[in-house]
Structure 1
Amino acid sequence: MRWIILDTETTGLEPSQGHRVIEIGAVELENRNVTGRHFHVYLNPDRDSDPGALAVHGLTTEFLSDKPRFEDVAQDFVDYIAGGELIIHNASFDTRFLDAELARVGRPPLAQLCTAITDSLMVAREMHPGKRNSLDSLCERYGISNAHRTLHGALLDSQLLAEVWLAMTRGQDGLLIDAPEPARGTGDGLVVGGFDASVLTVLRASETEMAAHGEYLEALDKASGGPCLWRKLDTPAAPAEGTAA
């Protein structure tokens, strides 16, 4: 199982308006392990970034002016993602831009170059309905430090998303992380381990708590028109006729 955790930065919000990709960052996971084989490149878009986009990523026109263009790295990018499943947060945004860049150099769309594209935002929304599921929110939810993230960066965001994705999918497909070895098997799929009851702490109810519980049971008796189940269990059964008391 090969996952490519991918993110981009762009000059604006719409490729149809001529906006371009200016950074691609990707992290490779093989069987849930980070391989260290990353893909990262800054790109010269031959245009300025919108002020709003520049405030997000901080990649100036001057900084990008000597960087390669997408056509210069297209083959390396295609080779890197081949045979992998792409994991992208809010995938529709990045795929629109990457498809536009690929089309400019006569390449097929992203979906034809990899095995699958999974939107981690949609997965997070299904797992945490009604909650915020931005990358920052997920980092906080799963205890992943993003204190060093002052500006958005494609490689940094991919590294954070890789940690989030592993936390979100922990235990799926039978791939348990740090799962303890079973003590012994029963042969029917159940795992049985030793159990020492002496380690359990027993907390006994106080007299006040017992009195409050009794009042509650009396209220149940009145509501049900007879002794409730707990009263019946507490009352010793009368000896059967003809037996000793």
Structure 2
Amino acid sequence: MFLEELKDHTKLSLSFSGCGFLCVYHAGVCAAIREFAPHLLKVPILGASAGAILGACITSDVCLSKAISVVLDVVAKARSFTFGALNRDFDLMKIVRQNLDAALPKDAHKLCSGRLHISITRFSDFSNRLVTDFQSREDLIDAIVCSCFIPVYGGFDYPKYQGEKYVDGGISVNQPVLDSNTITISPFAGENDICPSDTDSANLLGLVFSGTSIRFTMSNLMRLLVCLFPPPADACSKICQQGFEDALRYLFINGTEYD
């Protein structure tokens, strides 16, 4: 992105990749943008899986501390079970739904319609759908829950959106974009606009998973594990700080004047 594009934020959009429990990284990114370039939080938001949770909170004007608490509460509850989210007694989707219901305002669907774009995968043929019009608050929450549901890992009770079964949006499109002006955000080192640099690794090889660029580094391997197995509180803090620093670096390199 160039300085002119960052200034004319009406052309921009933000995309938060799916990343499981690594979504605290997105919270750090949002904190940096809110402090130094708050106008970027007013642009269209796209999200897949856990990225849709942060996207909904931003678009609904939920305070960032409350949004972070939603994520950390899920992490804490998952860690309280043996084997975390894999424990049969742990209902991840139920907790996600409850936390969204507690955090989102009553008019969240009105605030999000036309501005928040959620990536979901239709179970019948695994095709992608990017939904942006929400008829009710429950309709919005249903879309987010569907976008976060990983088959088997999240259970066997497949969630529905408008009467049809959908699963994790990251399976089909993990990094949704509107056009070339979409700023891509991912906790994985790669070719994304805002992401870790992993300068300790000289490996330039990587892959693109459902639109998300991922380099072959040891740090990325560890991040993949964190996606599914929730980290302790101190690790969450470091991941969040990483997101803040990476976003700040992006804003500095691209010359935004933070106003």
TM range (shorter): 0.3 to 0.5
TM-score, with length taken from structure 2: 0.31
Which structure ranks higher in relative contact order (CA pairs < 8 Å, sequence separation ≥ 6)?
2
TM-score, with length taken from structure 1: 0.32
